[in-house]
């Protein structure tokens, strides 16, 4: 979450609750909603690391709020994050290791492992379908995010099928 | 899961389908036992060549089984003559296959209305139903077009509309989103879900994860046999620290 908050602050200074709202409004229900406490803790750590600077702003009839802005070091950090291509979702697949090693040791049957894993993906598909129903189709970021999840799951299912064809 | 009270709509017992090709026998379906209740939405998945399409053809009466039994709505169907199948398909079963097989000499509208008229609908009823279906599929402007002037995806959608025009109690569909872009897939899914919400049962063959996500049961075929058959359940509630479908954006 560090980088995500830095990237939001690169646009303009904000306080913690504004950051939470910005994430929710941009990504919709597709984004696991961050807990406000997590955001405050992360901001404190970023401040300790010298990446953001917080300034108390007085409010009428309310406690002061702390508005954060990027420091030059924070700006460098977010630029480095932006420039770095992200890893694919599966660098090392735990299921595949299981599929190869467990039957060798007589711990499991390959077909059972594949079916169990497939059912998990189906359940995730269902959750995604529900998420899609709850998401406004005009919300481009959320829609693309969901579509990406579908494509990942599609690839996972196709690949399970390949494993089944070759190993079972 | 479907309520226990839902009547069994389809039942197969030890269903087998062999093909004879090049002097050899291809065992496409090798003993399938399947029960589908009224109102279920079942996706059949599995690798190419696992027998999915053949199974759908046999269930729809387009090919006779080599052996085994098939019941539809309580009626023994595996030995029905072709004429009786035609009536069954007009009244109870809608079928849409990968090739839409639209009648080239008729407009899109007439292709969709024809099965309704054959089943006894008035011209006005048939037209109203056709307009409703084409609207949902985003094809209202193509009603007077000849099928040959439609894209492959549009033809497939018209085939689906034709299969649904009589609100069949069972819809059989083979890769209904196979040639479709994302927008058309969404339209087709919406239509399928409306049909399902109306209590129509759906059995479809698909590779498409988006389609499978809406089914309430998924049957996996492998080498002509069912290797898994399970309701699609929501994942158990996720803990905050656990990866769900949203893995790439998981909070650290």
Q: Tell me what the mean pLDDT of segment A71-82 comes to.
A: 95
Residue that wins the pLDDT comparison between A51 and B101: A51
Mean pLDDT of chain A: 90
CATH assignment of the domain containing B208: 3.40.50.300
In a domain? residue B238:
no
CA distance B59 to B42: 13
Residue that wins the pLDDT comparison between A136 and B200: B200
DSSP string, chain A: -HHHHHHHHHHS-EEHHHHHHHHHHHHGGGS-PPPHHHHHHHHHHHHHTTSEEEEEEEETTEEEEEEEEE-HHHHHHHHHHHHSPPPPS-SS-HHHHHHHHHHHTTS--HHHHHHHHHHHHHHHHHHHHHHHHTS-TT-HHHHHHHHHHHHHHHHHHHHHHHHHHHH-
Q: Tell me what the mean pLDDT of segment A44-71 comes to.
A: 91
**What 3-state DSSP class applies to B213?**
coil
In a domain? residue B2:
no
Q: pLDDT at position A137, please?
A: 81
- Show residues of chain B in contact with A150, CB under 8 Å: 209-210, 213
In a domain? residue B133:
yes
Q: pLDDT at position A141, please?
A: 87
CA distance B246 to A30: 8
In a domain? residue B242:
no
Shortest CB distance from B252 goes to which of A1, A147, A157?
A1
Q: pLDDT at position B21, please?
A: 84
Give the predicted TM-score (pTM) of the model: 0.83
Q: How many CB atoms lie within 10 A of CB A43?
A: 23
Give residue for tokens 């080239």: B104
Q: pLDDT at position B234, please?
A: 76
| pLDDT tens figures, B64-76 | 999 999 999 888 9
Shortest CB distance from A32 goes to which of B227, B230, B246?
B246
In a domain? residue B245:
no
Give residue for tokens 């927008």: B183
Q: Out of A66-80, A127-141, B156-170, B199-213, which region has the weakest mean confidence (pLDDT)?
A: A127-141
Measured at the CA of A54, the angle between CA A51 and CA A60, to 5 degrees, comes to 160
CA-based nearest distance B161→chain A, Å = 23
B227 and A123 in contact by Cβ < 8 A?
A: no
CA distance B158 to A143: 26
Report the interhelical angle of A36-48 vs A16-27 (nearest 10°). Answer: 120
CA-based nearest distance B243→chain A, Å = 11
Question: Searching chain B, which residue's CA lies closest to the CA of residue A114?
Answer: B228
Numbered residues of chain A with Cβ closer than 8 Å to any chain B Cβ: 1-2, 27, 30-32, 34-35, 38, 86, 89, 111, 115, 118-120, 122-131, 137, 145, 147-154, 157-158, 161, 164-165, 168
CA distance B152 to B137: 14
CA distances B127 to B122, B166, B209, Å, are 9, 12, 34
Q: pLDDT at position B5, please?
A: 61
Contact, A105 vs A97, CB < 8 A? Answer: no
In a domain? residue B249:
no
CA distances B213 to A85, B5, B119, B171, Å, are 30, 25, 33, 18
In a domain? residue B100:
yes
Range of the domain at B70: 8-232
- Counted domains in chain B: 1
In a domain? residue B190:
yes
Q: What percent of chain A has pLDDT over 70?
A: 98
Q: pLDDT at position A57, please?
A: 87
Both tokens assigned to B235: 């994942």
Q: Which residues of chain B have pLDDT under 50?
A: 1-3, 238-252
- Show residues of chain B in contact with A127, CB under 8 Å: 234-235, 244-245
Q: Which residues neighbour B99 within 8 Å (Cβ) at sequence distance 6 or greater?
A: none
Q: pLDDT at position B214, please?
A: 93
Q: pLDDT at position A27, please?
A: 83
Q: Which residues neighbour A124 within 8 Å (Cβ) at sequence distance 6 or greater?
A: A153, B235, B244, B245
Most B CBs within 10 Å, among A32, A117, A126, to test the B interface: A126
Contact, B107 vs B63, CB < 8 A? Answer: no
Q: Which CATH number fits domain A2-83: 1.10.10.10, 3.40.50.300, 3.40.50.1260, 3.40.50.1860?
A: 1.10.10.10
Q: pLDDT at position A136, please?
A: 83
Q: pLDDT at position A168, please?
A: 85
CA distances B215 to A154, B40, B45, B97, Å, are 15, 8, 11, 18
């Amino acid at each position: 979450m560090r980088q995500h908050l830095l990237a939001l602050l690169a646009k303009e200074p904000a306080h913690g609750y504004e950051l939470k709202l910005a994430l929710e409004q941009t990504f919709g229900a597709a984004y696991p909603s961050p807990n406000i406490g997590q955001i405050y803790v992360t901001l404190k750590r970023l401040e300790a690391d010298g990446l953001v600077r917080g300034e108390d702003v007085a409010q009428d009839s309310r406690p002061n709020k702390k508005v954060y802005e990027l420091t030059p070091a924070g700006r460098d950090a977010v630029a480095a994050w932006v420039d770095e291509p992200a890893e694919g979702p599966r660098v090392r697949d735990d299921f595949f290791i299981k599929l190869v090693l467990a039957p060798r040791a007589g711990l499991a049957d390959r077909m059972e492992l594949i079916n169990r894993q497939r059912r998990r993906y189906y359940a995730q598909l269902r959750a995604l379908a529900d998420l899609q129903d709850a998401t406004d189709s005009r919300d481009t970021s959320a829609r693309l995010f969901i579509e990406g999840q579908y494509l990942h799951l599609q690839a996972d299912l196709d690949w399970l099928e390949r494993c089944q064809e070759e190993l079972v | 899961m479907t309520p226990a009270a839902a009547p069994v709509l389809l039942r197969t017992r030890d269903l087998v389908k062999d093909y004879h090709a090049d002097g050899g026998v291809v065992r496409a379906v090798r003993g399938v036992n399947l029960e589908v209740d009224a109102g279920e939405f079942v996706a059949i998945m599995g690798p190419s060549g696992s027998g999915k399409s053949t199974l759908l053809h046999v269930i729809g009466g387009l090919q006779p089984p080599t052996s085994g039994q098939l019941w539809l709505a309580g009626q023994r169907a595996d030995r029905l003559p072709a004429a009786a199948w035609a009536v069954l398909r007009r009244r109870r079963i809608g079928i849409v296959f990968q090739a839409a097989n639209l009648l080239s000499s008729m407009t899109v509208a007439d292709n969709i209305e024809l099965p309704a008229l054959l089943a006894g609908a008035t011209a006005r009823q048939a037209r109203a139903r056709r307009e409703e279906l084409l609207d949902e599929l985003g094809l209202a402007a193509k009603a007077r077009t000849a099928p040959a002037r439609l894209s492959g995806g549009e033809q497939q959608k018209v085939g689906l509309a034709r299969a649904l025009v009589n609100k069949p109690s069972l819809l059989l569909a083979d890769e209904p989103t196979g040639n479709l872009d994302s927008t058309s897939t969404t339209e087709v899914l919406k239509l399928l879900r409306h049909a399902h919400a109306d209590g129509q049962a759906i059995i479809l063959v698909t590779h498409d994860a988006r389609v499978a996500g809406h089914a309430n049961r998924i049957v996996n075929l492998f080498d002509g046999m069912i290797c898994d058959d399970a309701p699609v359940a929501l994942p158990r509630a996720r803990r905050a620290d656990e990866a769900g479908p949203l893995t790439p954006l998981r909070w650290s």
